[in-house]
Structure 1
Amino acid sequence: MKKRVTLTFPRRTVHMPVTYRLAKDFNVAANIIRAQVAPNQVGKLIVELLGDIDEIDASIDWMRSHDITVSVTSREIVIDETICVDCGLCTGVCPTEALSLHPQTFQLQFTRSRCVLCEQCIPTCPVIAISTTF
């Protein structure tokens, strides 16, 4: 089972080795998609949790017991293919190369698993074909 969540750490828990504890105590793999963490500041992680659903739920309960806010991320980048003109401008700002042009057809390709929801592509699209869903 996979579950993408956003973790918000209060200042006092930023130092905790959360991903280590998830793996060691709950047998849950944590793939960090996006991170904004600094000492003595509120931290934010977007993490994809992978493991048994009961273990994932137990790990979420554990994080919440340590005052880490956990919210299930259902936001995704959406491309309206009826509007997209395959200009490729979005590919130039995509830091993970989730957006690319097919080398032979020059049609836009979106690899969702590489997307880190940075949303840099949204304002770049001249025809407003890229948006997010909740």
Structure 2
Amino acid sequence: MKRRLTLHFPRQAVHQPITYRLAVDFDIAAKILRAQVAPNQSGTMVVELSGDIDELDAAELWLESLGLSLDRAPGEIRIDPARCVDCGICASVCPSGALSSAQPDWRLSFDAKRCLVCEQCIPSCPLDAIALVLEPR
């Protein structure tokens, strides 16, 4: 099973070897989609965790015991077609290929099924046409 989480690190927890402990103690693969963590500062990391559902639940409890807050809210990327000018900058930073543009018209296309919701496209858009929309649980 896979789960996407946003981990919010307090300053005192940024030195913890989180991904190593997830692999060794819980047999969970952690794919880091985006991270902003600096020594002696708070940080944020978006991860996709893969493993047994019971181990995923245990790992989440462990992460919270370290003082991390977890954002489990499912969300999706949405593009405002009224604002988008099909510049393709977002496609150049998309790690999954969910955003692309191709000849002959170079129109931006978005494949939501491929989207990892890593949020790398959001700050790359010069017109703020891309947003993360959190869905109610």
Cα pair 1:96 1:116 within 8 Å, conserved: no
Identity across the alignment (%): 41
Give yes or no for contact 1:29–1:50 (8 Å, CA) kept in 2. yes
Structure 1 counterpart of 2:123: 120
Post-superposition offset of 1:8: 1.2
* Residues in 1 aligned to 2:56 and 2:103: alpha-carbon distance in whole angstroms: 39
Q: Which runs of 5+ in 2 are unaligned?
A: none
The one-letter code matched in structure 2 to 1:124 is L
Change (3 A) 1:63 1:37: same
Q: When the two structures are superposed, what TM-score results if normalisation uses the length of structure 1? A: 0.78
Equivalent residues, number = 128
Please say which of residues 64-73 and 35-44 is displaced more in the overlay: 64-73
**Could you tell which deviates more after superposition, 60-69 or 91-100?**
91-100
Q: Could you say which residue in structure 1 is the equivalent of 2:89? A: 92
Secondary structure (helix, strand or coil) at the match of 1:59 reads: helix
CA contact (8 A) 2:4 2:47 kept: yes
Does residue 83 of structure 2 align to residue 76 of structure 1? no
> Deviations for 1:31-78, whole angstroms, at most 9, x for unmatched residues?
111101010111211111111111111100011111111121423211
CA offsets per residue over residues 55-105 of structure 1, 9 Å max, x none? 11110001111111112142321135xx4697422x224552342213356
User: What's 1:29 paired with?
Assistant: 29
3-state SS in 2 of match to 1:88: coil
- Return the offset for 1:110: 2.2
Q: TM-score, normalised by structure 2?
A: 0.77
